[in-house]
Every structure is written in C-alpha cells, then in structure tokens.
Amino acid sequence: MIYSWQDLSQQVEVEVNQFDFSGKPAELYDPIGYTMRLGGKRIRPTLCLLAAQLFGGDLTKAMNLAMAVEVFHNFTLVHDDIMDEAPIRRGKPAVHVKWNRDVAILSGDVMFVQAYQLLAKGNPEKLSQMLTVFNQTAIEVCEGQQFDMNFETRDDVTAKDYIEMIRLKTAVLLACSLQLGAFESGASEKDAQLIYKFGEKIGIAFQIQDDFLDCYAKQEDFGKRVGGDIISNKKTFLMLTAMERADKNQSDRLDQLISTNSSDEEKVSGVLGMYNELNIPEITKSAMQDYFDESLAALDQIKAATELKQPLIELAEMLMMRKK
C-alpha cells in the first residue's frame, strides 16, 4: 500500500501527541510539549516519511528522523519568536510570553538536543551522512534568520539576496527532511541529491507564493490581512523586484508611497498600482512557476516508481495551492 501525504501527516500528528516530552525540571520540559502540540501542518516530517516511502524504507524507523526535523523546526520557532518579539504562535501565547525569555532560550536549547537524539536513532550506517546534512542545514537556517533580521535595516537588499535568504531560512530544511528520509531508506547518493533539490526548489516557490498571496489572495481564503506586507514595509520578493525594475520617476513614487503617512488603504492600493505598472504579478508568478518546474524536474529524474512519486507531487501541489 502507498500512503498519501495526508495519511503520513496524520501519523506524524499521532506520534507527536503520544511522544513523551516530559522531564525535570518542569519549567524546562513543559514548554516543549506545549510547543510541539500547538499543531501546524507537519510538512517537514511528512516530507521525510514520503521520501522514505519513495525509496522503499521502513516508515517506523524513518519516524525518528521525521520527529527530529519537526522538533528542530519547532526549536527555531521558539527562539525566533523571542527575537521577533512575536507574542502569538498558532493562535496561542508564544513560549517567551507564556513562560518567560529565559525559559524560551533554555527549552529551545533542549529541543535542539532532542532533535539530535532523534537523529541518532536513524540508520547507523548512514549516521555520518545524516549528521552532515542536518548540521549544515541547522547552520543555514540560523544564517537565514540573521540575514532576515539584517534586511530590515539594510537598504541595499536585492531580489537575489532575498531568494538566498528564504532558501536558507526555509527551503533547506524541507530539502534536509526529504534527504534524511532518503538516506534512511538507502537511496543512492545521486537520488539523495535530487530529492534535496526537489525540496529546496519547492521551498523557494512556496515562499515567493507566500509574498504573492499577501498582496493578491482573496481575504476569505487568507489567514492574515491582505496587504499586510505592504503596510509593514516588508522587503518581499515583489517589493524588491519592483524597486529593481523602477525607473527614477517610478522609484521616487514608490519611495513616497512607502514613507508618507497615508492611510493603509491608500498605501496598499498605491503600491499595488505600481506593481501592476511594473508587471510584478506576472514576473512573480513566472518566478514561482520556474522554481516549481525545477522542483518537479528533479523529482522526475529520481529512479523510483511513478506511483511512489505521486504523493510528493500532490503535497507540492497542495503547498502551491493548486490542490486542497
């Protein structure tokens, strides 16, 4: 039987809910269970299991690696929420708010170790390779977060810098999740590289789409306020591309829209007008499509049965909102 991504996502949810995150002192461990059980789409562990399935591996064994990436991802959220001073995570108080900053730092550190403990339960013959990609990914995720914070105050960020930042901050962990599942199942070096590329490219496509939807989603389909990135002057793919393509006159008008104290509605409609003038929606959709195509091309090259690739394609399409 071939599991769909929905089946495996459900299995991850069950595993998370029955996993024992308790320990002493309670101040250290309670926030871990709390964070892990806030929900979320469980995309990363599901990708790990789908890759294990793709290469014919034992999903029970791959579950340790799936949990490793989910615990690691949640660790980054706990520390990022301190840095971003974000009070809410998935509709509930963030750890640094519900407990305090120190608890959030230290519980996060413990989660980081727990991710390595789970990783160490992987296929012993592949442990060295798995450790290498996991370490590299963990470092890159930190680099991505630092670049993201730096971008807020820099005024020389290019769309290319931005793509590199989202690659580091988001895409490489999707890629790593898939590659760990592939290693666990004994995939060839070549196939392990291809599945990594599949995850990396779909991750970049997904993040560009996130920027796109912030401007162009229908309010009823979108969790956040449409135009929120424009209102908060976020340096998105759309804004950075617009700035690069604008001539002197257009650039001045954009600067004025960003810096004046007009109402949120005027600012959003003004910027969207500029985006249309500069053909930003089409350029953005085209960039998304290119990364999406590269992603599927990598998957296509992998030596595995087509029907085992299907759940990965479906998850990719769901992420790109082409399928529910």
User: Residues in the site for a copy of itself, rule: CB under 8 A?
Assistant: 23-25, 27-28, 79, 82-83, 101-103, 105-106, 109-110, 112-114, 116-117, 120, 124, 127-128, 131-132, 135, 138-139, 142-143, 145-147, 149-150
Nearest-approach distance from CB 110 to a copy of itself, in angstroms: 5
Nearest-approach distance from CB 157 to a copy of itself, in angstroms: 12
Measured CA distances, 187 to 45, 54, 58, 168, 172 (Å):
18, 9, 12, 24, 19
Nearest-approach distance from CB 134 to a copy of itself, in angstroms: 8
Nearest-approach distance from CB 122 to a copy of itself, in angstroms: 10
**Three-state DSSP state, 226:** coil
Question: Residue type at 204?
Answer: I
Choice between 38 and 103, CB closer to a copy of itself: 103
Choice between 100 and 260, CB closer to a copy of itself: 100
Choice between 56 and 87, CB closer to a copy of itself: 87
Spatial distance between the Cα atoms of 120 and 131, rounded to a whole number of angstroms? 8
Choice between 153 and 261, CB closer to a copy of itself: 153
Nearest-approach distance from CB 287 to a copy of itself, in angstroms: 24
Q: Taking the CA atoms of the chain, what radius of gyration do you get in angstroms? A: 21
Q: How many whole angstroms from its chain centre is CA 147?
A: 15
DSSP letters for 49-116: HHHHHHTT--HHHHHHHHHHHHHHHHHHHHHHHHHTT--EETTEE-HHHHS-HHHHHHHHHHHHHHHH
Choice between 120 and 321, CB closer to a copy of itself: 120
| Residue 268 burial by Cβ neighbours in a 10 Å radius (0-12, 13-18, 19+) | buried
Choice between 146 and 310, CB closer to a copy of itself: 146
Choice between 41 and 154, CB closer to a copy of itself: 154
Nearest-approach distance from CB 4 to a copy of itself, in angstroms: 34
Nearest-approach distance from CB 28 to a copy of itself, in angstroms: 4
Cβ atoms of 104 and 95 closer than 8 Å: yes
Helix orientation angle between 159-166 and 237-245, rounded to the nearest 10 degrees: 160
